[in-house]
Amino acid sequence: MSEPTQTIEGWYAFHDFRTIDWKAWRALDPLKRQEILNEWTSLSNEFANEDSARKGSYGRYTIASQKADLLFVHFRNTLQEIIACKLRFAKTQLNDFLKPSYSYVSIVELSSYLAKPGTNPQEDPHLLPRLHPSLPKQGAVCFYPMNKRRTGNDNWYMLPMKERTDMMRSHGMIGRNYAGLVTQIITGSVGFDDWEWGVTLYAEDPLQFKKLIYEMRFDEVSARYGDFGDFYVGQVASDTDIFTMLTL
């Protein structure tokens, strides 16, 4: 048996993708639409206040493709709190007009080698911002799930620990070339969802997503051992942006 990689976990994460039922929404009386939007804005303000108090992190986004129209992202300390966030939204009237198109449950994950020997990584001031990330309030977002391949001779999980570590170090060096241009949050989802990891990227210029991911395609970790799900790209949105989007 190959030695498993040890990890450090942070906040739980929930990516909630929604598609707007425009036909049903347009059929509503304008005053009713206003009432529904006011109710949703009140809840969104609550989530934003919890973000400001560092009880979690909250983001909302408009999505470019037809896979979804909106994305809501919640980071919380426990799975129970993630479920509570989902239910709080489900109880709003707006939920009836935003149909689920995809969702992803995971937890922030860092490699254990980042921890200093003999210290508690949960108290390390250098690791805490990565374990409990504050989501950017502007710019573009890109999300995709991924697996490490487990087929034939390309079985990541049968490789020796040192070989995996060396390859991941080389892989990580590519990401460092984009420091200051792209912010990356890796969340683990083994046992939580259908893929093994979720990758959420942020950048002022969305073109940097293409450049980074394309360059990584040539690294062995991706070229030989990476399998990827659907990509979602969009822009950070404010409550006002979404309110305006839904105001006819």
* Residues annotated as part of the active site: 144
- Token pair for 209: 């997503």
Longest dimension (CA), the chain: 63
Among 210, 215, 217, smallest CA distance to 146 is for: 217
DSSP string over 191-222 = TTSSSSEEEEEEESSTHHHHHHHHHHHTSHHH
Q: Cα–Cα distance between 121 and 93 in angstroms, integer? A: 41
Do 85 and 59 touch, CB atoms closer than 8 A? Answer: no
For the chain, what is the radius of gyration of the CA atoms?
Answer: 19
Do 22 and 41 touch, CB atoms closer than 8 A? Answer: no
Compute CA distances 132 → 56, 146, 183, whole Å: 7, 21, 14
Count Cβ atoms within 10 A of the Cβ of residue 68 and give its class: 0-12 exposed, 13-18 middle, 19 or more buried.
buried
